Chain A
Amino acid sequence: MNAPEKTLKAWAKPTLSSHRVGVMNKFGAVRQQFHQTEVDGVEIEPLLEQFGSPLFILSEKTLRNNVRRLRRAFATRWPKVRHGWSYKTNYLNAVCSILHQEGSWAEVVSEFEYQKARALGVPGSRIIFNGPWKPTAILEQALQEGAQIHIDHLDEIYALEQVAQKLNKKVAVGIRLNFDTGYTDSWSRFGFNLESGAAMDAVQRIASSQWLTLTGLHSHIGTFILDVRAYAAQARIMAEFMDKVESSTACRIEYLDIGGGFASRNALQGLYLPPDQLVPSFDQYAEAITGALLEATRTRSAAGKPLPTLIMETGRAVVDDAEFLITRVVGGKRLPDGRRAAILDAGVNLLFTGFWYNHEVKPLRQLDGTHEETVLYGPLCMNIDVLRSSVMLPPLNVGDALLISSVGAYNNTQWMQFIQYRPAVVMITQEGNVEVVRVAEQLAAINDFERLPDALRLPFPQGLPE
């Protein structure tokens, strides 16, 4: 009698799993059961070898497609449409340049961003200048270069008047409004409040100014807004205010800037439904906004007045899914409550949005073993450094790489150099080439900013103690 033939099975790390309710839901089983090995046809693993881990990967193709889709959604519904690229969302030069090539203006909120845009070759006349603090020097430059300035508060009106007077130039400005749409919390700290009458006071003040002329209205109702009705309300309120402004002053409003805030395909923490079901498409946003605008401008167009240009400052929804973060597992442990934990080489220092999103996490290769609730920790010596507080993943080994998706918005601008270097950012071009768009930080570069007084040159002047 022959002994039964031995079959070799791949070894899998042993796991313990209790029976639990809630793993399965009505959208199917575990969502993180897939793996992803490439971005736009380029294998990720060799990139990690070459540029090190962690690594940000940008997809030029996705970025261009997103902004084209955004513009197309609006341009097929409204005669005059403009997109301002919100620099604060991601001001990597490569990202900004791609969007400028696609026809987007620069939407900046500070002296630094203004200068960054100018350094990139964006003419002043293609810059929308928002933000609550615009220092006089940059304001002067912006006025001279014909930037589209949105006034945030009354003192800024005075400042602008002085600068305009100094330049002896009558300048066109816009003002920022805040109001209650009925669907979102009012961001009342920015701009002039509509309900209190502050906005109309500001309009009257500008209308009576010798140096300023009001040509636009701006408002930004919030961020990650999932209900398109909020935008419809915003568009209606702004259009009504436009009519009021034009009937009570000699100003002619040329544009309505609805700000940004469109949600990206990312799972906001605390939301039950997955983003695929929750997040409206650009077409849905556009339909709601232009539909409301059309309704609100019906008498206006019947009177033969030109329709205002519609400006969007969409940032998040354009760039978020065009960037990935690749990180490696550096260790694992079992928490006292029985949950599994993995320690990664990237934490909230790089993924600031980890604080409010449940980012999608996929292994780079097919991992065997049972999916188990896992906590993903970053490398910081801080308790809050949690990338995912709960994600279903198979057992992870040291060195396994994970792909975290939809990280394009706010991470490359809000990341911090805290106890770790910030890694390289590479871009997969449309042609499938890999370009480094930001090199990994090194000590010398960071130390370069510092100046050490001569007296402090030696760390141990008395020699090393025993």
Chain B
Amino acid sequence: MSAVSLENNRWVKASPRLAQRLNKLFVHRWFGHLGSMTQPLARAYASVLFCDSPWLGAWFAALTWFSPRTALPGLLGLLCAVGWGRVLGLSKPGEPHLVNGLLTGLVVGAVHILDVQALAWVVIASLLVTLSTYWLAALLWQTARLPVLSLPFTLVTWAILLTQTYRASILAYVASLANAHAFFTPWLDSFFISLGWLFLVPYPLAGALLFCGLIVASRYLALLAVAGYLAGFAGFQLFSLGDAQSSGFNFMLTAMALGGIFTVPGRAGFVFALVGSCLAGWMAVALNGILYVLVLPLLTAPFLLSVYLCLGALSVRHTWRAPYLNLEQPATPEIAYERARLAEARGAPSDSLPLALPFYGEWRVSQGFDGPHTHRDVWRHALDFHIVENERSHSNDGASLNDYFCFGAPVLAPTSGQVVRLRSDLPDMPPGEVDLINNWGNFLLLRMSNGLYVKLAHLKQNSVSVGLGEWVSVGQRLAACGSSGRSPEPHLHLHVQISETLGSSTLPFHFGHVLVRNKGQTTLDFHLCKRPLEGDHVSAASSNEPLGIALKLPAGRSFGYRIKTPEKPDEGYKKSDLRIELSLLGQFRLVGNHGASAAFEKTSAVIGFYDRQGKADPLLDLWLLALGLTPLSINAESWSDRPAMRLLPLGIGRRILAALLRPLGTGCDSRYCRHWDETLQVWRQEGVHCIHLAPGIEWRATTLALIQPELGVRRLRLDCFGQSWEAVLENTSWVSHNQTGH
């Protein structure tokens, strides 16, 4: 499978490792070429419950045969949808018309005796579904940024039923399907029957087996299904005493969609999902009132309405807070959680603007956000900087401005933009004195391309070297640090504001690629994004050319390693490759021997890996663990990251334990440090990775990467659970360009 299709499908990928393993078994060994045709079909079955594994889909497909009368038209509806899609040239990642075709086929099978007419209905219905899916998907996304889900199925099925004059008796017949023998306790039976209704197999055993499949694919989705069912049932029971069994799957789907697929899993997402399910319960009662008149079944209408209502409302929020919506790139909860974890470890708050440091060298934050002196109220998002030596900001007695280390130091543009306002004529106030009439003193106001403004204040008199209306670029020297305005001693004030008015409200911001030294800390800590706190010493993490060249990963480059794993120590070293590919969408990916890959991004100051996909690959996982986030500034002495736990070579026992204790997976608390090894002439990058699985259960691993100038990553080593994995670089080569996605 190419990297391109992997990427496109990743939003519906359930358990990548399992899926990959099963793909290999199912597709390549058993069915050979046929696999590429059966795979989308199987996936359509899986995606009814928001999963993607073809194997799981096959399991669901098999279970539909509990009721052959519906299973056959269902399969036919699916095949017809594939056919119509091909004929009409409609295709889209995820192919949402397939699942809708399948569901429509299942329902048509339930309401019709299996005859030629029924099959004709399936063919017609699948055409309608295919057409309406693409039209509705485009309409919903462009107008409200909502996913299409099973809306086409519901509308088309209603349309078909409306043409049936004797539908009351049909629905009564369909309802009687569920009168099966009790299997478990009544409550469990009721839950499983509800789940079974989704595939028109309303039998406790079928539902239980469906649920087992769901548990294997995603424990978190299974949990949401149960919790959603209970919440929805509660909502339903508040207003109605009727039987919620045949619409119970709506509550589960609502919870799974809201809590697991379209929001980042978390406490807020979970509560949000339950509220949505409860709402779906009430919707079921309300809709029943209308649909009863028309003699139509609910189908997935409560689910759709509840999900659209919740997602639609939240997507127009202006603030970025939990629950975080995941509409652009919906993913399985496990993957979404992993992404969110990495983003949290590496990123800054998402409602914060990135800026570059407005100076050279190391400065100290003399007043942070919500500072005690002047950073209050609407001006609370501001930073003051000055320079200190041995925690003193001046030499001598500090009576003269020239005694202050920062006085006259260059001030740089923290962003590119246009100078829209400036003042440069005010005198610098002697130490201890302030100008309360011109509070900001000499200042520069830059308008950024996003329409917001950056202000640099208290500049030195006549030091501004740019003119009004001039365009400046990041890092350009603009002025000198001074002490004009309300400035008892020389310092630089920086903030982001919403309008051109002096003193308008400020907005949060942070810096990218900074080195931070706290008081009493000796090492320089690298941060990808950082909003420094009061007392932090900050400097820019400038790139180091030899290190950058050593970690250069151009598309087409291939690294051959000899690896030694403890599983097969007798075999000695075996060879494995890593190569760099460029995806269709311009994403660089590091790809292992068996298709496993991870995306990476390289800037002048850092290289970071993310979006690990595919089955376990010892070499790739070792690389990601040891080099997952690597600053290219040699001054960066230590930093932190949170790589996924699944990068560690866990045995089957540990994997089960981790799956039980951490259903969503977890990250390692990783701490890296790097120094130059003079004897080996390499950079030694060491990582210590801790996994706090549960109180009292802590796993530790250490990694080592030797980075040699001009050569690359010469050696990688992982030690955990008393065993070690090692990879030694043997050769580097170039793959011809037509193999790299060009």
Contacts and interface: CB of A to CB of B under 8 A. Distances in A.
A76 B545 contact: no
Contact of B390 (A65, A80, A123, A254): A65
Contact of A76 (B363, B475, B681): B363
B77 to A, nearest CB: 58
B408 A80 contact: no
B68 to A, nearest CB: 69
A80 B542 contact: yes
Interface in A21-72: 65, 68-69, 72
A76 B359 contact: yes
Contact of B409 (A76, A80, A123, A146): A76
A204 B387 CA distance: 44
Given A69-B389, A283-B408, A294-B477, A79 B542 contact: yes
B389 A68 contact: yes
B408 A72 contact: no
Interface in B654-699: 676, 678, 681
Interface string A72-88: 10011111100000000
A80 B360 CA distance: 9
Given A69-B389, A254-B545, A76 B678 contact: no
A72 B359 contact: no
A360 interface: no
Interface string B385-404: 00101100001000000000
A393 B681 CA distance: 57
A287 interface: yes
Contacts of B362: 72, 75-76
Given A75-B360, A75-B362, A123 B545 contact: no
Contacts of A294: 477
Contacts of B389: 65, 68-69, 72
Contacts, number: 46
Nearest to B359: A76
Contact of A77 (B410, B475, B539, B676): B410
Nearest to B546: A125
Tell me whether chain A's interface is mostly helix, strand or loop, or mixed. helix
A68 B361 CA distance: 12
B129 interface: no
A397 B390 CA distance: 41
Given A72-B361, A75-B361, A76-B360, A287 B408 contact: yes
A107 B431 CA distance: 39
A123 B540 CA distance: 26
Contacts of A123: 676, 678
B542 A76 contact: no
Given A65-B390, A123-B678, A76 B406 contact: yes
B360 A72 contact: no
A105 to B, nearest CB: 13
A69 B389 CA distance: 8
Interface residues of B, number: 23
B561 interface: no
Given A123-B678, A254-B545, A287-B408, A76 B390 contact: no
A78 B361 CA distance: 8
Interface in B447-476: 475
Nearest to A103: B635
A18 to B, nearest CB: 38
A72 B539 CA distance: 12
Contacts of A287: 408
Contacts of A80: 542
Given A77-B360, A77-B410, A72 B545 contact: no
A383 B345 CA distance: 73
Given A283-B408, A294-B477, A79 B540 contact: yes
B282 interface: no
Q: Which of A75, A78, A80, A290 has the most CB of B within 10 A?
A: A75
A72 B678 CA distance: 27
Contacts of A146: 681
A75 B387 CA distance: 11
B55 interface: no
Interface in B534-548: 539-540, 542, 545
Contacts of A76: 359-363, 387, 405-406, 409-410
A366 B182 CA distance: 109
B679 to A, nearest CB: 9
Given A65-B389, A254-B545, A77 B409 contact: yes
A254 B361 CA distance: 19
Nearest to A302: B473
A30 to B, nearest CB: 23
Contacts of B390: 65, 68
Nearest to A281: B402
A178 to B, nearest CB: 28
Contacts of A77: 360-361, 409-410
Contacts of B542: 79-80
Nearest to B465: A294
Interface in B354-371: 359-363
B395 to A, nearest CB: 8
Nearest to B677: A123
A290 B410 CA distance: 10
A122 B475 CA distance: 34
A146 B708 CA distance: 14
A369 B261 CA distance: 93
A76 B676 CA distance: 25
A254 to B, nearest CB: 7
A351 B362 CA distance: 38
A68 B360 CA distance: 15
B360 A79 contact: yes
Nearest to B545: A254
Contacts of B477: 294
Nearest to A254: B545
A72 B477 CA distance: 17
A72 B386 CA distance: 12
Interface in B385-442: 387, 389-390, 395, 405-406, 408-410
B408 to A, nearest CB: 7
Contacts of A65: 389-390
B405 A72 contact: yes
Nearest to A122: B678
Contacts of A254: 545
Contacts of B540: 79
A124 to B, nearest CB: 9
A241 B684 CA distance: 38
A393 to B, nearest CB: 27
Interface string A270-312: 0000000000000100010010001000000000000000000
Interface string A432-455: 000000000000000000000000
Nearest to A61: B390
Contacts of B406: 76
A123 B359 CA distance: 31
Interface in B333-392: 359-363, 387, 389-390
Contacts of B545: 254
Contacts of A75: 360-362, 539
Q: Which of B359, B389, B409, B676 has the most CB of A within 10 A?
A: B409
B364 to A, nearest CB: 11
A72 to B, nearest CB: 6
Interface in B171-196: none
14 contacts: A65-B390, A69-B389, A72-B387, A72-B389, A76-B360, A76-B362, A76-B363, A76-B406, A77-B360, A77-B409, A123-B678, A125-B681, A283-B405, A294-B477
Interface of B: 359-363, 387, 389-390, 395, 405-406, 408-410, 475, 477, 539-540, 542, 545, 676, 678, 681
Given A65-B390, A75-B539, 15 more contacts: A65-B389, A72-B389, A75-B360, A76-B387, A76-B409, A76-B410, A77-B410, A78-B360, A79-B475, A123-B678, A125-B678, A125-B681, A254-B545, A283-B408, A294-B477
6 closest A-B pairs (Cβ-Cβ)? A76-B361, A75-B361, A123-B678, A76-B409, A76-B360, A77-B410
